Amino acid sequence: MSDRFPPGFLWGAATSAYQIEGAAAQDGRTPSIWDTFSHTPGRTADGDTGDVAVDHYHRMRDDVALMAELGLTSYRFSVSWSRVQPTGRGPAVQRGLDFYRRLVDELLGHGIAPALTLYHWDLPQELEDAGGWPARETAYRFAEYAALVGTALGDRVERWVTLNEPWCSAFLGYASGVHAPGRTDPAASLRAAHHLNLAHGEAASALRAAMPARNQIAVSLNSAVVRPRSQDTPDVEAARRIDDLANGIFHGPMLHGSYPDRLFADTASVTDWSFVHDGDLRAIHQPLDALGLNYYTTSLVSAADPAGAGARADGHGASPHSPWPGAGAVAFHQPPGERTAMGWTIDPSGLYDLLLRYAKEAPGLPLLVTENGAACDDVPGPDGAVHDPDRIRYLHGHLASVRRAMEAGADVRGYYLWSLMDNFEWSYGYGKRFGAVYVDYGTLARTPKSSARWYAELARTGELPRVPGA
């Protein structure tokens, strides 16, 4: 197998607005659900919030210069909905849009292709107060917001992502409650999933009406690689059930215009799905120009022991409430192997399997790895340098899997490292570091780690560098 990637392959890094921007109450921005959630005692580690985050709002030009220094050819960022449209309704706030105009111009000036994500979990609080994603109206508000951003930036941004990881928005936000808005209502989580699907479809249509035809529209799914603990029929059935809840519930309508055959029966004890209206599936099933896939680890499941409650070693945070509605008969197990600082098993073969699956699931649709990376316990040395050999090994293994998948027929066009720099890691606060660039949270100084330099060499040559010490 060749370690060389083709010319034109996108070498990117990704971030999200609430995790890096700060300036939470500046230039007209109003609270999102993550502002409210993080300011609620007990919701985040150490009570951490994104009020300042890593202050990207004020340090944007320096951050883009750092991206250029690292040789990135693309940068995936998200727009803060409540910075652009504070109530989730009405006209855009130009001061909010101006920040993203400046960011895009700065990127283009450094030869870095912007990839804009419209939604990375930060719903305006006013829309949550009106019902949030379980309310159908939110999907239509999202389409209006998409049109505002598409009209403002569509002349300069060619790569667009509607939603990032709608599974997390629906099930961690409304079922287990470990993410904002922190609700624990299984029926509401399934309504949220459907309305996120509808929001994607309506936004894709709105973007196409507002932007030049050359622009590319995608969605980023955190599709799970679900493996049964054994090939016994109950375990295989458990894996099928979770696969439908993790994957088919989104890619079914988006890619094929239908929900998985058995999903409604599996969740009949939770909801009757009457919120699916005539015409919804047609609205959701919009043509895509690329499919984004986010991958970190695999899932290992079995049928639960009838004598006891099913284990939930699913890696999605501690909560007495499950993010898997209708799946109480399924147990999750920690896959064997080395783990990251998040406790997630390191398994590059899962990324290979995922890419090959979607090469078959959506033949002819280009794929992007829109997130992949590892949290490590990074500490500066006496000289101030930050060496992270574990992250380099993680990246090398996963990028080798990407290259192997390409040789097996997967049409992968780019890779976005998560994340450009250390940041606010949601309910974990500032305790988990995913960045290729180290951030001193006291001074907010940025220091590229060894992995950033390794990745820069890859971006420059297109060939996987060796792992130091290997």
Catalytic residues: 165, 371
H/E/C letters for each residue in the chain? CCCECCCCCEEEEECCHHHHCCCCCCCCCCCEHHHHHHCCCCCCHHHCCCCCCCCHHHHHHHHHHHHHHCCCCEEEEECCHHHHCCCCCCCCCHHHHHHHHHHHHHHHHCCCEEEEEEECCCCEHHHHHCCCCCCCHHHHHHHHHHHHHHHHHCCCCCEEEEEECHHHHHHHHHCCCCCCCCCCCHHHHHHHHHHHHHHHHHHHHHHHHHCCCCCEEEEEECCCCEEECCCCHHHHHHHHHHHHHHHHHHHHHHHHCCCCCCHHHHCCCCCCCCCCCCCHHHHHCCCCCCEEEECCCCEEEEECCCCCCCCECCCCCCCCCCCCCCCCCEEEECCCCCECCCCCECCHHHHHHHHHHHHHHCCCCCEEEEEECCCECCCCCCCCCCCCHHHHHHHHHHHHHHHHHHHCCCCEEEEEEECCECCCCHHHCCCCECCCEEECCCCCCEEECHHHHHHHHHHHHCECCCCCCC
